[in-house]
Amino acid sequence: MMPLQPQTAGLPSGTFGGRRRHAAVNPTRLLDAPHRLGFFAGGSLLALLALWWGGALVARAAGLVVPWEVTPTTAHALAFVFGFMPLFFVGFLFTAGPRWLGLPEVPARRLLLPVGLMVLGVAAALVGFHTSSAMAALGLAAVSVGFGLATGLFGLMVLESPAADRDHARLVLVGCGVIVAALWAAAVAVAIGHDAAARATAHGALWGGFGLVFATVAHRMIPFFTAAALPSMDAWKPRALLGLLALLVAVQAPFAVAEALLGGRVPAGVSALRAAIELPGGALLLWLALRWGLVQSLKLRLLAMLHMGFFWLGVAFTLGGVSHALMSLTEGQVSLGLAPLHAFTMGYLGSTLLAMATRVACGHSGRALVADNWAWAMFWALQAGIAARVAAALLPAGAGTPLTLFAAQCWLAAMGAWALRYGPWFLQRRVDGRAG
């Protein structure tokens, strides 16, 4: 793994601060390394989806009629859960995975078919959400086939690995398998017009798939990066903690699926049980964020971005625990609405994705591993959007619309700026002259 400290020594002439002034853009560079292909595709779709949903919200606020073949709520859930994160997973897993597993690097050309299917599938699904539910279902199926191929390849790597420690890779593989299954279920649900089931697949994948993968990677990477950058901190990551984190996140999946299928009308006892898991879980996660060095990480922006992302997981669990406790006491009449969900999705998943993608973009392009003023501004634009969206969910129906629109603008600004800033790097040579 690369250290977190800036590295500019040994850079070729024609660079300034680790950056080539006028590097040539060449699309074939996407095949130089898996992260280039996966991150470029994922970043492009992330920006596109932010623009699409921001436009839909503005149209709704302006009273404009937009045709929908799949309900907007379901389309939003499916697009933002399955539309870009699998592509970032492909870029990350086939970059870090071989190192974890002690295997040779994977040629990016081997990932062309999976990535191509996912990109085409997302495009078809977006069009289908407005024109044809059958097209939307076919698009989701194409994404499932593409990500299924990538997951199968990663599974073969796990089986072939000579590494003694494969626990993280195995848990990641389980999470990816859950995502593939959820994608197929989503395609079927959209094809038969079962709106609640389609939303349920997205909620199940969020916790049992994406949440599991993110928690597993956090256990492996956050202590390592922190200890490498801050010698006063130890890389504390006991094996039991990995199992606890995985269980704490994955156990939310069946609850989330049930809530989606029942429209939130779950028995009081079920809400009470979920609150009994989330409240102590939130306390544990907030403590863990401090134990792993949240306060100390603020000295280094790029490291702080990763720690602050993990902090949102503790916030999401705490808000969820309060919400479900209220639901159990009021027979479902009072809750915190979508506040816990957006703290988890925009806060934890979004912030962590931005932090990790920025780190990989910098380190694997031969640049200094730092978050400059532009990266820092993008991150704080995202934080403003998260805070606004969580606050909007706590307000009465309709009263939070201005905050929701502001949150969408912040999301678009942060993710669009990331794609514009870092996307060209994946089309250029490394500035240090190395391969990859």
Hey, what are 63's tokens?
């009273």
Calculate mean pLDDT across residues 89-98: 95
pLDDT band of residue 399 (cuts 50, 70, 90) is confident
Mean pLDDT, residues 406-432 taken together: 95
Q: What is the pLDDT of residues 150-167, one digit of tens each?
A: 999 999 999 999 999 999
pLDDT for 235 equals 87
When the pLDDT of each residue in the chain is averaged and rounded to a whole number, the result is: 92
What are the tens digits of pLDDT across the range 195-236? 999 999 999 999 999 999 999 999 999 999 999 999 888 888
Burial class (CB in 10 A: 0-12, 13-18, 19+), 261: middle
H/E stretch holding 40 reads helix 34-61
Q: What is the pLDDT of residue 7?
A: 37
**Tens-digit pLDDT profile for residues 40-76:** 999 999 999 999 999 999 999 889 999 999 999 999 9
Segment 127-149, tens digit of pLDDT: 999 999 999 999 999 999 999 99
Q: Please give the angle made by the CA atoms of 150, 155 and 161, to the nearest 5 degrees.
A: 125
For residue 17, the model assigns a pLDDT of 39
Prediction pTM value: 0.92
- Identify the pLDDT of residue 232: 86
**What is the SS3 assignment for 105-144?**
CCCHHHHHHHHHHHHHHHHHHHHHHHHCHHHHHHHHHHHH
Is residue 2 very low, low, confident or very high in pLDDT (cuts 50, 70, 90)?
A: very low
Asked if residue 120 has pLDDT above 90, the reply is yes
* pLDDT of 435 above 90: no
What pLDDT is attached to residue 423?
95
**Average pLDDT score over residue span 362-390:** 95
Q: How confident is the model at residue 1 (pLDDT cuts 50, 70, 90)?
A: very low
Residue 22: the pLDDT is 52
- pLDDT of amino acid 297: 95
Instruction: Give the bridge partners for 16, in sequence order.
Output: 19
Determine what percent of the chain is predicted with pLDDT higher than 90.
Answer: 88
Report which of 351, 206, 191, 336 is spatially closest to residue 275, judged by C-alpha positions: 336
pLDDT at residue 397, rounded to an integer: 79
